[in-house]
Amino acid sequence: MSEAESSGPDGDGAGVEGTRAAAEPGGGDDSKHTLDTLGSVGELDALARIIPRLPPSEATMLGPGDDAAVLAAPDGLYVVTTDMMIHGPDFRLAWSSMRDLGFKAAATNLSDVAAMGARPTALVVALAAPAETPVSDLEALADGLREACAELAPGCGVVGGDLSVSPTLTIAVTAFGDLEGREPVRRDGARVGDVVAVSGPLGAAAEGLALLFERAVNGDGVPDARAAARLRSEHPVAVAAQLTPHPPIADGVAAALAGATSMLDLSDGLALDARRIARASGVSLDLDAAAVCMAAGVDASRLPHVIVGGEDHSLLATFPPATGPGQSLPGGFRVIGRVVEAGAEGPALLVGGRVFAARGGWDSFDEWSGGVG
């Protein structure tokens, strides 16, 4: 987070509803520091403790500390995307640690860069938090950002951002990527005859979210931190898929090099995102139910949940038929369907040749489309 051009306090420092009763450890061994809050130490001292924990970017020409960062763009082009996470509609502090939030904030943006066939190079992070937020929590969030970059996109780092005060914890990340001389892989390139393939999990994040809403709330429906901790141990894969997703970032470049004709990040669910490719390309996507279940590792009874569930942040792509069944697909991609001509109803999502009309997926303007996005 850059020290320059930082906005001043713009909130009253009220507590966030549903936050943890006690601050979780966020790193650092100095017990005095665990008592420090954003309001008590001020912006500059907080940044002085956060910035050293953030990962550097290999593309940095000028990093945090000036009015703006300067990044190398060797071929003159770069990919840029941005996303916000807001306490309430996007996460619950009773369920997620600050380290979790840092990891997820990075991962969800890195996957959008990967979906364009680009290599992630840098993040800019803007954070608004209540004044009473422990600085150790901000350090933990920085640790999560660093760990996500190191694990998912080595060489990518945080080059700047902003820190401010708000009654509601809000994390906004802007991510940059290098196309390395390639054309971007867009949503509108799918052609009849292409195969449809996915890399990464299907349905796991939605399962984790459902478990949290069903079993990690108290009698009044308020998120319960202790119940969430139990769920983490009882259902580690599903809960981790929701709280700390691990998208297959490297497979974005691999797909581009293999000639992917279209691609996107499955942030909002297979049904909703597959329809986006169909509409953009003027075709229909026909999914094979058995192949989808196999890719998701579930039996046929779970198929509707897999198709409508969101937030896996896997990569959905189409490839020329030469890379279809019996041929080699890049990375972790598995064939789950094919591209067919749009019918009389126009571009659509089909399953086994029949229109899949069920609504589903995450829509941030529909409170109950999928719970927390």
Residue 311, marked binder: yes
CA distance 62 to 77: 18
The single-letter DSSP state of residue 328 is P
In whole angstroms, what is the distance from residue 242 CA to residue 139 CA? 22
112 is in an annotated binding site: yes
366 is in an annotated binding site: no
Task: Establish whether 90 is an annotated binding residue.
Answer: yes
194 is in an annotated binding site: no
Residue 219 labelled as part of a binding site? no
Ligand-binding annotation for 265, yes or no, is: yes
Question: Residue 368 annotated as binding?
Answer: no
Spatial contact of 148 and 103, defined as CB atoms under 8 Å apart: yes
Q: Is 60 annotated as a binding residue?
A: no
Q: Is the dihedral of CA 104, 202, 282, 365 positive or negative?
A: negative
* Residues paired with 87 in a beta bridge: 91
- Measured from the Cβ of residue 320, the count of other Cβ atoms closer than 10 Å reads 15
What is the full DSSP assignment across 209-273? HHHHHHHSB-TTS-B-HHHHHHHHHHSHHHHHHHHS----THHHHHHHHTT-SEEEEESS-HHHH
List, as residue ranges, the binding site: 67, 81-83, 90, 112, 161-162, 187, 265, 267-268, 311, 362
Q: Please enumerate, by residue number, every residue annotated as part of a binding site for Mg(2+).
A: 67, 81-83, 112, 162, 265, 268
Residue list, annotated binding site for substrate: 90, 311, 362
Annotated binding site for ATP: 161-162, 187, 267
